[in-house]
Structure 1
Amino acid sequence: MSDVFVIRNQHGHYWGKSKAWVDGSDPRAVLRVKHQDEGINTLVELSAKDVTLRGEVMPAELGPKGEPVLEVSDTPLPQPVAEADGGADAGDSDSAARGAEA
């Protein structure tokens, strides 16, 4: 029997306590639940928000420090959408300002 359960997506990322995907390099940041059904409920909620999500609730043993022993994902984490939009908006406002000057 496992000590805890964690949620992992198709990229090998884990659902974090901060409600964002993490790569598993810091096990303290990974959400862990004591009961599998709690993990399944969370996964259903996540899947309802992201239809492309392919996740699983998997058992994880706890290490000597009480943190889950996890395999770190090789896939880079996606960049937050706000940062990507911020760069595009800044470029648009600069070009609009140049148009107004002309």
Structure 2
Amino acid sequence: MSEAVFVIQNQLGQFWTRAGEWVDGREPQRVLKTKHRDEAVNQLVELSAKDIDLRGEVLECEVDEKKEPVIEASSHLTPTLADKAAEKAAEKAAEKAAEAALAAANEEDSPGEAGETGEGGDADAEEPPLSAAV
């Protein structure tokens, strides 16, 4: 007797995950799978209560040798874990580049300000006695 699991699929053919998002099914290890139909039905009811436009269904699926559901991927593609990791890496690289540019800009401003402050400091030192005399 082969094992079966239950998964939740929406009207776009996407599957609900343990992380609480819809995925296209190309990575079946991400899909929420339950051993009992009533658990999947309860989850679908909760999802439907939050999203009244959701048209979902609980599907019974066979599992492969890795105990992952055998499902057909949706034509409505979603980002894979690799895509998300690449996006996060690109964001971090952009943040570091912005920080480096800011640090470089601050370094360029600092020597100029120090020179001006030194000269301005002398001019300011002369003004207070004039102000005090007036």
Q: TM-score, normalised by structure 1?
A: 0.72
Is the contact made by 1:5 and 1:57 (CA closer than 8 Å) also made in structure 2?
A: yes
Number of residue pairs matched? 78
Distance 1:48 1:33 in 2: 20
Structure 1 vs Structure 2 CA RMSD: 1.6
The answer to which structure has the higher helix fraction is: 2
Matched, 1:20 2:36: no
Q: TM-score when scaled to structure 2?
A: 0.55
- Bigger relative contact order, structure 1 or 2, given CA contacts below 8 A and separation 6+? 1
Give the secondary structure class of the aligned counterpart of 1:18: coil
Larger Rg, first or second structure (1 or 2): 2
Distance in 1 between the 2:14 and 2:64 partners?
A: 19
Instruction: Specify every segment of 5 or more residues in structure 2 that has no aligned partner in the other structure, as ranges.
Output: 80-134
- Aligned-residue offset at 1:2: 5.5
**What residue is the counterpart of 2:73 in the other structure?**
72
For 2:49 and 2:25, the matched residues in 1 are separated by 23
**Which string of whole-angstrom CA distances, capped at 9 and with x for unpartnered residues, describes residues 38-95 of structure 1?**
00000000000000000000101001111110100001349xxxxxxxxxxxxxxxxx
Distance 1:10 1:65 in 2: 27
Secondary structure (helix, strand or coil) at the match of 2:60 reads strand
Distance 1:62 1:76 in 2: 22
The equivalences for 1:77-96 within 5 A come to 77=78
Q: Which residue of 2 aligns with 1:43?
A: 44
Equivalent pairs: percent with the same residue? 53
Q: Which runs of 4+ in 1 moved over 3 A?
A: none
Give the distance between the partners of 1:72 and 1:39, measured in 2 at CA.
19
What corresponds to 1:54 in structure 2? 55
